[in-house]
Amino acid sequence: MNAALLAAIVFAFFALGYRFYSRFLAERVFALRDSEPVPSRELEDGVDFVPTPKTVLWGHHYTSIAGAAPIVGPALAVIWGWLPALVWVAVGTVLMGAVHDFAALVISLRNRGSSIGEIAGAVISPRVRTLFLLIISFLIWIVLAVFAFIIGTLFVQTPGSIFPIWVQIAVAVTLGWLVYRRGVPILWPSLVAYAALVAAIFQGNAFAEAFPAITQVSVGTWVWVLMIYSFVASVLPVWLLLQPRDYLNSHQLITGLTLLILGLVVLQPTVQAPAVNLWPEGAPPLIPFLFITIACGAISGFHGLVSSGTTSKQVGCMTDARPIGYGGMLGEGTLGLLAVLASTAGFASAGEWHAHYGSWSEASGLGPKLAAFVNGGATFVASLGFPVETARTFIAVMVIAFAATSLDTGARIQRLVIAELAEAYGVRPLTNRFLAAGLGIGLALLLAVTQAGGKGGLILWPLFGTTNQLVAGVTLLVVSVWLKRQGKPHLYTLVPMLLVAAATITAMGGELRGYFMDFEARWLLAVMGTIILAADVWVLLEGGRLLLGLPGRSADPRSA
């Protein structure tokens, strides 16, 4: 099968989804109006609440949601064949993931920029708020520990990526200062900054050769450095680092996706994987595990945390929610699509693909998944005339940029979640952003360093996919209850909620059986998984009661 043709079909589906379905949601379900007040203007504080131009905020939101997960998930899921992965990315993005992100953004905008966990307390019950915020905190805890490890691993595997990533941070701070303190329009400085970043990419390997000591830094040391960076990024005003860096990232990532797509068109590669491969050696069943293996890239609970945690505090006009929330997810779906194609059409032969994906254990490690995308993507880009090593460095930098943006956005969201819990229970010291950020980063660092080499987060990584999708299901439940109380159509969020919840609870049950069968070695996964599943079922039952019209707590005025 021609990979370029498959990409064209999915892109057409994305375009139709944005043109018709997102407009229907914006006008008929959420009734967005330009004149509506937004939290960024009502609560502007120069740190978290900052009115932001649509194009700049789109870049921040897109790069925040598009971490490494939409790469590593599809790069593993293709072991079941390219067809199930491709269909789930396409249908999941348009009908579920983009709806989820858009809805979470809108409901937060109409609740003073509160997180989805805080809104759950207003819409369902205070008990649900606590349970949901704890689930969210657990999810971000894993994200921070593992994404720091992913970036450190890529720094070690691809030393040429180190120099451009740190150049980007310095350039971003300069750009933020020029735009917000000197009043310089952002377009031209951002293009100059991006040119500097591209130049740094071409000098990345030369820098690594000139300073060989940098190539000797271990993954564990990089984890420490990245956690310290995340703390700083989470407490700085959003305009100084996060916004300009993510805007630069959007230039880089759009360029990268464009080069990958052009490479597909020029190379016209053949998909080397089978269309369907139902029983790979050692793999769990396709249904329901496809739906948690590809989370980001189809639908992801983490996106709702970004939408309601940081993005809603920066939206300058209510109708911007459609291109940012729905359109941003289409951007991530594009990344998921290219990850599927790079992991199936980036191989020289079917034999080479089968050797890489011979069994679940061979394909499921972090290294094999990243290598499948980086090497396959580099093959596409190299077809445009770039040296293979430069193409590989470019793709690695793109992956790190995705992961780093999710890392510092996750750190900021964790700070806000801790502050919300502290305010609810009267722990006033933790409402301070420095203390809240220190606690969040400190716990993630503790998790990361509990095993040699910074791999501690990988202990709980098997719970990431299911926990992430449980958060997505609860987010859609909260939105559905809110819409019903407003007298608005809620089936468009309720049906995806039911599908995600059913698949995820089934998958979590299957995982827990395996953990309890090997309890001595996997007791932590068994205990944490049980707690998370119990909390999720509790939240779903309380929300379901309200959807069915059974007696329950009356609505909080803030949820109106």
Q: Encode pLDDT of 380-434 as tens digits.
A: 999 999 888 888 878 888 888 778 887 888 899 899 899 988 988 889 899 999 9
Look up tokens 């329950």; give the residue: 552
Residue 80 neighbours by CB under 8 Å, 6+ apart: 276, 277, 278, 280, 283, 286, 290
Please tell me the number of Cα atoms within 13 Å of 246 on its side-chain side. 31
Residue 455: band (very low, low, confident or very high) from pLDDT cuts 50, 70, 90: confident
**Beta pairing partners, 281:** 359
The mean-pLDDT minimum among 12-21, 179-188, 330-339, 512-521 falls in: 179-188
Structure-token pair, residue 355: 């050797």
Please tell me the predicted confidence (pLDDT) of residue 451. Answer: 66
Structure-token pair, residue 314: 């920066």
How far apart are the C-alpha atoms of 411 and 113, rounded to whole Å? 17
Helix, strand, coil fractions of the chain, as percent rounded to 5: 80, 0, 20
Please tell me the predicted confidence (pLDDT) of residue 393. Answer: 79
Nearest to 3 by CA among 353, 359, 365: 353
pLDDT at 268 over 80: yes
Summarize pLDDT for 77-87 with one digit per residue, the tens: 999 999 999 99
Is residue 205 within 8 A of residue 389, CB to CB? The reply is yes
pLDDT at 256 over 90: no
Please tell me the predicted confidence (pLDDT) of residue 149. Answer: 86
pLDDT at 232 over 90: yes
Please tell me the predicted confidence (pLDDT) of residue 289. Answer: 92
Residue 9 neighbours by CB under 8 Å, 6+ apart: none
- 206 exposed, middle or buried (CB, 10 Å; 0-12, 13-18, 19+)? exposed
Please check whether the domain covering 3-559 is classified as CATH 1.20.140: no
Please tell me the predicted confidence (pLDDT) of residue 550. Answer: 64
pLDDT at 365 over 70: no
Is residue 167 within 8 A of residue 200, CB to CB? The reply is yes
Summarize pLDDT for 31-49 with one digit per residue, the tens: 999 999 999 999 999 888 9
How far apart are the C-alpha atoms of 518 and 536, rounded to whole Å? 24
Residue 258 backbone dihedrals phi, psi, to 5 degrees: -65, -45
DSSP type of residue 270: B
Please tell me the predicted confidence (pLDDT) of residue 299. Answer: 95
Provide the 3-class DSSP secondary structure of residue 359.
strand
The conformational region for residue 264 under phi > 0 = left, psi -120 to 50 = alpha, else beta, is alpha
Is residue 271 within 8 A of residue 1, CB to CB? The reply is yes
Indicate the domain borders of the chain.
3-559
Q: Is the pTM of this model over 0.85?
A: yes
**What average pLDDT is seen over the chain?**
89
Is residue 104 within 8 A of residue 358, CB to CB? The reply is no
In the predicted model, what is the mean pLDDT of residues 148-165?
A: 86
Structure-token pair, residue 144: 């921070």
Find the largest Cα–Cα distance for the chain.
70
- Residue 197 vs residue 111, higher pLDDT: 111
Residue 180 backbone dihedrals phi, psi, to 5 degrees: -95, -20
Is residue 119 within 8 A of residue 350, CB to CB? The reply is no
**Beta pairing partners, 2:** 270
pLDDT at 250 over 70: yes
| Sign of the alpha-carbon torsion through 339, 254, 147, 133 | negative
The mean-pLDDT minimum among 122-126, 337-341, 405-409, 541-545 falls in: 405-409
Look up tokens 């941003």; give the residue: 328
pLDDT at 226 over 60: yes
Summarize pLDDT for 474-532 with one digit per residue, the tens: 999 999 999 999 999 999 999 999 999 999 999 999 999 999 999 988 898 899 999 99
